[in-house]
A and B are shown apart, each in its own frame.
Chain A
Amino acid sequence: ETGVTQSPTHLIKTRGQQVTLRCSSQSGHNTVSWYQQALGQGPQFIFQYYREEENGRGNFPPRFSGLQFPNYSSELNVNALELDDSALYLCASSFWGQWETQYFGPGTRLLVL
């Protein structure tokens, strides 16, 4: 049973705005990864956080940034939103080095108008 939660579940923003998405990890997990999934596509890796530092990043511009807090929860921030940022944003938590234990949250669906 996954204990990863994300908020909000749905969000509508307009171009140019900024958004913050939140993720609470499965209890005890110290690593959080964020993914973007456009409609009909597979997820794309945005970045991973471990010990409150970014530890691996996909091909996303700097306007995508993140934070991990001491309780291992995490935020994804996106500045200067573009229409193509409309997607399902998934976070997943795991123990460091144990990718097979990665648990996914239900996602936040972002629509940029």
Chain B
Amino acid sequence: KNEVEQSPQNLTAQEGEFITINCSYSVGISALHWLQQHPGGGIVSLFMLSSGKKKHGRLIATINIQEKHSSLHITASHPRDSAVYICAIKNTGNQFYFGTGTSLTVIP
């Protein structure tokens, strides 16, 4: 069983749609990270969360520590948002675990 599970695995949306990607984890964490990976491998850090909610532009990330769940929302999606979105956690023992990613395609 993976420590981090993401859903959906693949997502196709029309430009302008509101998108939600979910992440569930099974261990105690000190932080959760949302990453964006473009074709070719480059990874960009989007958010680090330990509680509550963060917003950056059209991206919103929330976390519920009690339920061990986080969501990444994209408002007014755009084709340039097409990428793989990865949820990663850091446990209390300085170990890092990653989800397998959600592949998002936004169609114009």
Interfacial residues, chain A to chain B (CB-CB below 8 A): 2, 33, 35, 37, 40-45, 48, 55-56, 58, 88, 90, 92, 99-104, 106-107, 109
Contact = CB atoms under 8 A, between A and B. Distances in A.
Pick the most buried of B35, B86, B96, B99: most chain A CB atoms within 10 A of its CB: B96
9 shortest A-B CB distances, which residue pairs? A100-B48, A42-B98, A45-B96, A104-B43, A56-B94, A107-B41, A42-B100, A43-B98, A42-B99
A48 B42 contact: no
A33 B42 contact: no
6 contacts: A42-B4, A42-B88, A48-B96, A56-B96, A88-B41, A107-B41
Contacts of B94: 48, 55-56
A106 B31 contact: no
Nearest to A88: B41
Majority secondary structure of chain B interface residues (helix, strand, loop or mixed): strand
Interface residues of B, number: 24
Given A43-B86, A104-B42, A107-B42, 11 more contacts: A2-B44, A33-B96, A41-B100, A42-B4, A42-B86, A42-B99, A42-B101, A48-B94, A92-B43, A100-B48, A104-B35
Nearest to A43: B98
Contacts of B95: 45, 56, 58
Interface string B26-51: 00000101010000111111011000
Contacts of B4: 42
Given A56-B94, A58-B95, A102 B45 contact: yes
Contact of B45 (A35, A45, A48, A104): A104
A106 B48 contact: no
B78 interface: no
A45 B94 CA distance: 10
Given A42-B86, A99-B90, A100-B33, A106 B97 contact: no
